[in-house]
């Protein structure tokens, strides 16, 4: 007996009834519970899903993986009793698995050109640094040659306006960007039952350039 499933054996059939919440938050427990299923002499496993309360992609994935383990052992598996709102997650996993299975070379390791990428990035950063240094040096030389072109008062005013005076508006913009990011990602994370990671996503978004 488990909090997430019950098993019953009858005439060569192992009947597994799923119940409660098969979601991302319970992923480790679900994996351990499924690993404990031992068909024995039964050659068919039937998953009955009418007792499910909540179901997401994480639950669908571990359930599908376990059914594939049985199939490799020559044990037939089938699903029944899914509600439409739950079955869409399992169907999504099955479609992805089928697509990956028939793409030639999908699982082949991709070559990693570390030296090539490193040299390319080094060249790009070097060109960008030289360009910036050249622009600054040219501006300084122009100021030395023609001091009359330097407007000291206006320069200081612009530095203040785009620096300290801009802090409030920058704070407001960052706050609104966080709201938009959280709102847009909420529906995507919900599909995987990963709403608990929304705060981490928004907090770490500042590292994305």
* Span 174-199, pLDDT tens digits: 889 888 888 888 888 877 777 788 88
pLDDT at position 64 over 60: yes
SS3 assignment, position 61 = helix
- How far apart, in whole angstroms, are the C-alpha atoms of residue 194 and residue 24? 6
SS3 assignment, position 2 = coil
Residues in contact with 74: Cβ distance below 8 Å, sequence separation at least 6, in sequence order: 43
Average pLDDT estimate for 149-160:
79
Q: How many domains does the chain have?
A: 3
In this prediction, residue 125 carries a pLDDT of: 92
In this prediction, residue 84 carries a pLDDT of: 73
The encoded tokens of residue 85 equal: 């709102």
In a domain, 106, yes or no: no
In this prediction, residue 128 carries a pLDDT of: 92
- How far apart, in whole angstroms, are the C-alpha atoms of residue 133 and residue 125? 12
pLDDT at position 127 over 90: yes
Quick one: 9 and 96 in the same domain?
yes
Quote the percentage of the chain above a pLDDT of 90. 7
Quick one: 37 and 66 in the same domain?
yes
Average pLDDT estimate for 12-27:
84
- Partners of 55 in beta bridges: 22
Q: Note the pLDDT tens digit of each residue in 69-123.
A: 888 888 888 888 777 776 776 777 666 655 555 455 544 566 767 788 889 899 9
In this prediction, residue 105 carries a pLDDT of: 55
Closest C-alpha among 62, 68, 64, 79 to residue 24: 62
- How far apart, in whole angstroms, are the C-alpha atoms of residue 77 and residue 89? 17
pLDDT at position 140 over 70: yes
Quick one: 187 and 128 in the same domain?
no
pLDDT at position 39 over 50: yes
Quick one: 83 and 45 in the same domain?
yes
Work out whether strand 13-22 and strand 44-55 pair parallel, antiparallel, or are unpaired: parallel
- How far apart, in whole angstroms, are the C-alpha atoms of residue 19 and residue 146? 81
In a domain, 138, yes or no: yes
Q: What is the pTM of this model?
A: 0.47
Quick one: 14 and 49 in the same domain?
yes
Quick one: 95 and 121 in the same domain?
no
The domain in which residue 57 lies consists of: 5-101
In this prediction, residue 196 carries a pLDDT of: 81
Average pLDDT estimate for 10-37:
84
In this prediction, residue 209 carries a pLDDT of: 47
Quick one: 9 and 90 in the same domain?
yes
- How far apart, in whole angstroms, are the C-alpha atoms of residue 121 and residue 115? 10
Closest C-alpha among 49, 38, 50, 51 to residue 9: 38
Quick one: 159 and 205 in the same domain?
yes
Are 30 and 62 in contact by the 8 Å Cβ rule? The answer is yes
- How far apart, in whole angstroms, are the C-alpha atoms of residue 117 and residue 61? 35
Q: What is the residue whose two structure tokens read 């990428």?
A: 117
In a domain, 135, yes or no: yes
Tell me which of 178 and 39 has the higher pLDDT: 178
């Amino acid at each position: 007996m488990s909090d997430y499933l019950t098993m019953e054996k009858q005439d060569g059939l192992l009947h597994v009834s799923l119940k409660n919440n098969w979601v991302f938050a319970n992923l480790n427990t679900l994996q351990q519970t499924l690993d404990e299923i031992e068909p024995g002499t039964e050659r068919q496993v039937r998953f009955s899903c009418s007792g499910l309360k909540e179901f997401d992609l994480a639950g669908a994935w571990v359930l599908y993986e376990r059914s594939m383990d049985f199939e490799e052992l020559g044990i037939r598996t089938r699903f029944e009793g899914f509600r439409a709102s739950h079955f869409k997650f399992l169907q999504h996993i099955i479609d992805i698995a089928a697509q990956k299975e028939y793409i030639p070379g999908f699982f082949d390791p991709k070559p990693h050109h570390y030296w090539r990428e490193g040299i390319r990035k080094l060249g790009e950063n070097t060109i960008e640094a030289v360009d910036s240094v050249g622009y600054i040096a040219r501006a300084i030389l122009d100021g030395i040659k023609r001091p009359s072109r330097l407007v000291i008062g206006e320069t200081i005013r612009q530095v203040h306006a785009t620096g300290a005076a801009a802090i409030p508006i920058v704070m407001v913009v960052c706050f609104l960007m966080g709201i938009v990011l959280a709102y847009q990602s909420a529906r995507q994370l919900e599909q995987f039952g990963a709403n608990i990671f929304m705060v981490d996503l928004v907090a770490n978004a500042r590292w994305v350039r």
